[in-house]
Amino acid sequence: MGKKVLLAAPRGYCAGVDRAVITVEKALDLYGAPVYVRKEIVHNKHVVQTLEARGAIFVSETDEVPEGALVIFSAHGVSPAVHKAAADRNLKTIDATCPLVTKVHHEVKRFASEDYDILLVGHHGHEEVEGTAGEAPDNVFVIDTADEIDGIHLREGKKLIWLSQTTLSVDETIKTVRELKKKFPQLVDPPSDDICYATQNRQTAIKEIAPRADLVIVVGSVNSSNSVRLVEVSLEYGAKAAYLVDYAAEVKEEWLVGVETVGVSSGASVPEILVKDVLTWLAERGYSDVETVTATEEHLLFSIPPELRKDLKAAGKS
C-alpha cells in the first residue's frame, strides 16, 4: 500500500474556541496591552504563548488583576462567585465563555430552580465543571467515572437529572449514564445533548480513521479534555498506537517503525498551522500521500461577546 496519512475532518478550532481567541486578539487591538485573562483562554499551549507575546497576561484568579482593570473570562466559563469577585474589585469583564457551555449553565440554573438534584458527568477540577457546578453547588454532584457511582449520596425524594461537560467522550458518557440509571432508575435525560457538536464530530472522524491506522497522532495539549479523548477513542476503535503532541518536534522517529498508515487529527483548540507542521514532518519521512477522511462539515460561527462588540462599535472598529 505504501506510506499514507489519513487526515481527519473536521479537526482543530471549533466555533467557541475561534470566538474566544478572537476576543482576546480584538481586546488587545482595542484596549492595548496588557489585557488580563482568567485561566487559559483555551487549553492550548501554542495559543496561550502566542497571546502572551502580544501582551495578554493569564492569571489564576481575579484577585491577581489590578483593581479596575479589564479581565476576560475563558471559553470554559466561570461560576457566579467569580463574577461577584470581579465586580467586588471593580473589574471590567468580557465573558468569552463558549455559548454551548453557557447553555449547560442555564440548564443547571433551570433544574436547580425546579428542585432537581443534578448529576454532572465531568472531570473533577476541570474549569468548565467548576464553573457549571458553581451555578448551583447545593444541587450539583460531579461524577467523573462509573467507579464513583456507589459513593453518590443524594438528597431524599428529589427529582434527578444528568448533565455533562461539553468535551467528554460520547461513548464513555453513555456508559456512565447507563450505570447511573441502574442505581437511580428515576434519572431523567437532559432535554438536549450537552456534549458539543465539535467534540462529537472530531470523535466521529477519528473512529473512521482508527481501524485503518497503525499510528494516530493527535495534535493538542495535555490539559485539553477533548484532545485527550481523541487519543483514547483512537485506541478504543482499533489504532495500534496513538499519541498526543503539542508540536511536530515532539513526534518521535521510533513511532514510525513498521508503520504504513498514520492518522492525524487535532483537538478543538488547536490552530491549523500546528497540524500542517506535523504533515510536513511526516512528508519528509515519506508520508506524503494524504487522504482526507471527512465525517461532516461544520459551518457554525459565534459572534464575539456583546460587551466587546459594543466597545468596538463605539471606537468605529466593528
Mapping DSSP to helix (H, G, I), strand (E, B) and coil, where does residue 233 land? Answer: helix
**R_g over Cα of the chain:** 21
Please state, in angstroms and rounded to a whole number, the distance separating the CA atoms of residues 207 and 235. 9
Q: How far apart are CA 226 and CA 69, in angstroms?
A: 32
Record the cell numbers describing residue 41, joined without a space. 483562554
The residue assigned the cell 450539583 is 140
Residues in the chain: 318
Q: In Å, how far are 97, 149, 257 from 140, measured between CA atoms?
A: 20, 14, 48
The contacts of residue 264 (CB under 8 Å, 6+ apart) are 5, 6, 7, 8, 11, 216, 217, 218, 219, 275, 278, 279, 282
Given a contact cutoff of 8 angstroms between Cβ atoms, the answer to whether 210 and 239 are in contact is yes
Contact 290, 279 (CB under 8 A): yes
Residues marked active site are found at 128
Strand order in the sheet with 159-164: 140-143, 116-121, 159-164
Report how far residue 133's alpha carbon sits from residue 130's, in angstroms, rounded to the nearest whole number. Answer: 5
